[in-house]
Structure 1
């Protein structure tokens, strides 16, 4: 037996035999290669250890949270990496302090044990009062940053806090902001946007120290602060601006917008001074309305399709606009095509309209063409009825027939996601009849008399296919009768009058003609002599009725009539990259629309089955195996009783 190589053990000074390393285990060679990694590679690795440090959105702490991670545990892991060596510390500090989040609790099993330890128990008060952990974390962060402001302060670009913390700790927030010169976004209390006197110190600190801030909001009461922006002395690098319920002269708004050279997104809410004359004026005495990538208009009835068309008539504005959100404005569904025709680069459009009467008859004439855009990819067509409208007025079908006609004609060829407020819209788009009410579908069927059956020569057990037309099997016809042809002479008298209430197929159903483009449809003139061309590509339709809280998804394919499987492309509700659209949440696009498998509930609706995807880390989801990156269990987690603690006792 050959002699094994000897290894000198430095711990006890005794020679020992060297055991060959196990394949795949860490060795000195792998450690040497790890030490030679460049700083950008180390930063990328540390970013995977703590994902929330890569959050670069201008959204609040509540809207930009991760759903399947514990941010505090990730922060603890990256802090352990910084203790390895000085080289790792230099690379890890840039990542750890780039985007700071202060969380109130752990989103894992560790919170149950820590919550019990934080309680100040006494002999008479066994339960105790837990301390405010988020406030203590803010104080510790403030102390750490102010002790080394030259090294740590410049790394911080995004600072996000919980709602209650930023509303109650303005003093600690002001002291922390004072040492962050490169701050691009910070969660500020809402009262500061109203220029309340109690927050004047914090506002002066933000205007003096945060010269690189990229998002700001001005609400009712802050008109004088907006005038300082018009002078060009504060917030010259703003990219996102929100104006809400301001009572100010429109010339002040135009001068303020002209002073912001980097402005990309603008949101105007309930500001009556903004009209068509403001956004589309051609006067040389006032600065022009800026070219924007994202424009959100809410509760601004002075803005109409004519004004937006005049604004988009400029080359710079038409080429820059990517996102347009119109809610409670003067733009109506039958004038929306004027806007689409003037925005050749538009990717996402949202139209929220409350209809008090059906679509005008002019929409069925050539003067009002169907909707058409070759660049639109996401369309929110959310039409609802007014509260004072009669429930029997039948208002919504006219608006959604206009939309379905535009889709089937191929007017929106690149559309991938459609959001509507009609739960039955996918059925009508796929050519299916609207589901019958439950009393007409599940009611007791009175058997027909033998005389009526003999008079027709057909048996009473006639089945219907998915399109509602009767299917006549060969064995279902007694006396050797052949299968009848689907002609116009076939009426309801030829079937059992007390059987299935669905009508027989129409004469044009056998020829592949869409019944919704018959002469009774006011939009049949758009379809041409050969009828509609159909959907050019697969379309994901997200629906939500008036009594529903979440969005359901149905995929409609051009070759298939109906598909209820959930897809993977464009599935989540697209978030706003600037944090202005309240309908989109989550910077990682995980808090969007619900995508699930649908099953019938026996009453004409669908039951949503939650997917078995991973939940929050530490919640032990049913994944069929271990986690991809399992978190090491500490010694404190051996006590399984911690998961059964009552946090509210």
Structure 2
């Protein structure tokens, strides 16, 4: 009798599970994002006919990518860097997992997306988190009465899954998890990555980058089992591991490298960097003893790598002469696209030298605190045909400048002169740390009309910006960027029309902005018109509204 009772109970559980997933089929016609609306999952209104048999795997993968958009994130950003507001990533992964469970014929395509870029998030980024948090407090406790750590449970389940199925383990390319999860579960993380041979990126504890003894096992597994890693960092304490790189030949496909706080000389850096032939993103941070010899050409040392993105932070002994020497190499000139200079020895008045030797540079980010005014001698203006993004964040100490303009003002005057000379024709986005910069740019020398110029055609002495420019400004005591789209004067008919730029105060226009904004827009129509813009509150909802009642719901 007990055996028959057990069978009946198992049948009831299966029936309940089947009923809980039935809405995925019945609601498919109403949901525009569903598989049925995409032409998958039934005969398109023709009974007995399955149109999905004619769809190739690439088309099915494309359809599933709309169910879980972050499954296509092939970047090497950490969990904190890859945060997005476009829906709830946990809900999207749950929906994709349901597709793999319900639509068994599509399981390989759905599983390939589900396991390629795995995320173990701490919470749901939607209204479902409020409900689930309340349920966790009520019934999600361990034997000691302590609340269960949901990310830790998810990591344990993932570890068991990939260790039981090598086919699934081979699909994993990246693994992201919250900071506390990777710091508190080093042993489980080591056991997980030990079966992931194709892993390219994984969120690791901070101690691993500095050769902390508590991360020794994890680092050994990473070296032995993950030869295709694409991002790594070496920080203070890992000088020995970094110096041994030329002899061990680790991670030949490494693309992103960060060096921070290392006590090594320039020669060691050159030899170690030569171990990564595919390096394209390099960050040198907190290395105050580095000098221009790091970039100098040498017959006895390996050549400095030609990277696409170079970041220099807190390197006061690296000057413009050293960087220009690096950029004198043709392969470096053709490769460098983005350059970040923060608290370096490359002064703002020397930036024109850098731009003149970087013909393909698209983005330049400069963060510098100055103590002296801009030099009085004639300095060539900033000029670049390729630059589209410029962060010109020059600041100065204003504590003792009572009744006087800050020292940084002269640097922004130099920037205005470079802008109105139209020597930056491709520039579209400009970030400055001067709250008054938009007005300064607006009032910088206005167009001059000569007598009779209306009959002779355009004024040859006209100055000012010739192309639209998005200006993002922020004062020293502000936290959010103020956005001002600048529209240059345009000639219409026989009269020149000049309008003020549209100004969106504290506007949040994209993902990196975040936070609240003032709900007002100053519309430039020549009369100072003011228009209030309504703003819809609320976060985007997840791609699906399915909720499970099972106590073992791993997505909670």
Report TM bin, short chain: 0.7 to 0.9
- 1:220-239 maps to which residues of 2 (within 5 A)? 220-239=236-255
Displacement of 1:590 in angstroms is: 2.1
Worse overlay, 60-69 or 346-355: 60-69
Q: Does 1:563 align with 2:493?
A: no
Q: Which residue of 2 aligns with 1:208?
A: 224
Q: Which residue of 2 aligns with 1:158?
A: 174
Kindly provide the CA deviation profile for residues 618-641 of structure 1, in whole angstroms up to 9, marking residues without a partner as x.
6xxxxxxxxxx6x3455879xxxx
**Are the counterparts in 1 of residues 337 and 363 from structure 2 also a CA contact under 8 Å?**
yes
**Are the counterparts in 1 of residues 265 and 290 from structure 2 also a CA contact under 8 Å?**
no
Find the partner of 1:139 among 128, 150, 156.
156
Kindly provide the CA deviation profile for residues 588-628 of structure 1, in whole angstroms up to 9, marking residues without a partner as x.
x622478886447xxx9x9997843762316xxxxxxxxxx
User: Structure 1 residues 163, 561: CA separation in 2 closer, same or farther (over 3 Å shift)?
Assistant: same
Secondary structure of the corresponding residue to residue 344 of structure 1: coil
Kindly provide the CA deviation profile for residues 397-429 of structure 1, in whole angstroms up to 9, marking residues without a partner as x.
211110001100101011000000011111111
Kindly provide the CA deviation profile for residues 167-223 of structure 1, in whole angstroms up to 9, marking residues without a partner as x.
110001001100111111111011111111111111111111111001100110101
Kindly provide the CA deviation profile for residues 248-286 of structure 1, in whole angstroms up to 9, marking residues without a partner as x.
12211101111110000110011134211111x222111
Q: Which residue of 2 aligns with 1:185?
A: 201
Q: Does 1:197 align with 2:213?
A: yes
Displacement of 1:31 in angstroms is: 5.2
- 1:354-503 maps to which residues of 2 (within 5 A)? 354-362=369-377, 365=378, 368-386=379-397, 389-394=400-405, 395-431=407-443
Greater length-normalized contact order (CA 8 Å, ≥ 6 residues apart): 1
**Are the counterparts in 1 of residues 118 and 174 from structure 2 also a CA contact under 8 Å?**
yes
Displacement of 1:119 in angstroms is: 3.1
Displacement of 1:129 in angstroms is: 4.6
Q: Which residue of 1 aligns with 2:309?
A: 294
> Structure 2: how far apart are the matches of 1:71 and 1:278?
43
- 1:256-267 maps to which residues of 2 (within 5 A)? 256-267=272-283
Q: Which residue of 2 aligns with 1:116?
A: 134
User: Structure 1 residues 388, 410: CA separation in 2 closer, same or farther (over 3 Å shift)?
Assistant: same
Q: Which residue of 1 aligns with 2:288?
A: 272
Kindly provide the CA deviation profile for residues 427-472 of structure 1, in whole angstroms up to 9, marking residues without a partner as x.
1111279xxxxxxxxxxxxxxxxxxxxxxxxxxxxxxxxx9xxxxx
Gaps of 5+ in 2: 1-28, 31-36, 38-42, 452-458, 490-497, 523-527, 551-556
- 1:294-333 maps to which residues of 2 (within 5 A)? 294-333=309-348
Secondary structure of the corresponding residue to residue 102 of structure 2: coil
Find the partner of 2:79 among 61, 64, 79.
61
Matched residues, number: 485
> Structure 1: how far apart are the matches of 2:99 and 2:477?
50
Q: Does 1:94 align with 2:115?
A: no
Q: Which residue of 2 aligns with 1:546?
A: 476
**Are the counterparts in 1 of residues 159 and 192 from structure 2 also a CA contact under 8 Å?**
yes
> Structure 1: how far apart are the matches of 2:259 and 2:110?
38
Secondary structure of the corresponding residue to residue 136 of structure 1: helix
Compute the TM-score of the two structures, normalised by the length of structure 2: 0.81
| Larger-gyration structure (1/2) | 1
Displacement of 1:75 in angstroms is: 1.1
> Structure 2: how far apart are the matches of 1:426 and 1:49?
42
- 1:513-528 maps to which residues of 2 (within 5 A)? none
**Are the counterparts in 2 of residues 115 and 130 from structure 1 also a CA contact under 8 Å?**
no
Kindly provide the CA deviation profile for residues 281-336 of structure 1, in whole angstroms up to 9, marking residues without a partner as x.
22211111111110000010111111111111111011110000001111111111
**Are the counterparts in 2 of residues 142 and 176 from structure 1 also a CA contact under 8 Å?**
yes
> Structure 2: how far apart are the matches of 1:43 and 1:263?
30
> Structure 2: how far apart are the matches of 1:532 and 1:593?
39
User: Structure 1 residues 30, 336: CA separation in 2 closer, same or farther (over 3 Å shift)?
Assistant: farther
Q: Does 1:591 align with 2:536?
A: no
Displacement of 1:163 in angstroms is: 0.6
**Are the counterparts in 1 of residues 352 and 383 from structure 2 also a CA contact under 8 Å?**
yes
Gaps of 5+ in 1: 1-21, 123-127, 434-466, 468-507, 513-528, 574-588, 619-628, 638-649
Q: Which residue of 2 aligns with 1:252?
A: 268
Secondary structure of the corresponding residue to residue 535 of structure 1: coil
> Structure 1: how far apart are the matches of 2:98 and 2:328?
56
Q: Which residue of 1 aligns with 2:539?
A: 615
> Structure 2: how far apart are the matches of 1:231 and 1:547?
50
> Structure 2: how far apart are the matches of 1:551 and 1:132?
37
Secondary structure of the corresponding residue to residue 411 of structure 1: coil
Kindly provide the CA deviation profile for residues 541-572 of structure 1, in whole angstroms up to 9, marking residues without a partner as x.
001111110111101111244222569xxx99
> Structure 1: how far apart are the matches of 2:388 and 2:146?
52
Find the partner of 1:130 among 144, 147, 161.
147
**Are the counterparts in 2 of residues 102 and 160 from structure 1 also a CA contact under 8 Å?**
yes
**Are the counterparts in 2 of residues 553 and 596 from structure 1 also a CA contact under 8 Å?**
no
Find the partner of 1:535 among 465, 469, 486.
465
**Are the counterparts in 1 of residues 432 and 472 from structure 2 also a CA contact under 8 Å?**
yes
Q: Which residue of 2 aligns with 1:352?
A: 367
Secondary structure of the corresponding residue to residue 222 of structure 2: helix
> Structure 1: how far apart are the matches of 2:532 and 2:97?
41
User: Structure 1 residues 427, 598: CA separation in 2 closer, same or farther (over 3 Å shift)?
Assistant: farther
> Structure 1: how far apart are the matches of 2:508 and 2:55?
36
**Are the counterparts in 1 of residues 504 and 521 from structure 2 also a CA contact under 8 Å?**
no
User: Structure 1 residues 432, 314: CA separation in 2 closer, same or farther (over 3 Å shift)?
Assistant: closer
> Structure 1: how far apart are the matches of 2:50 and 2:125?
36
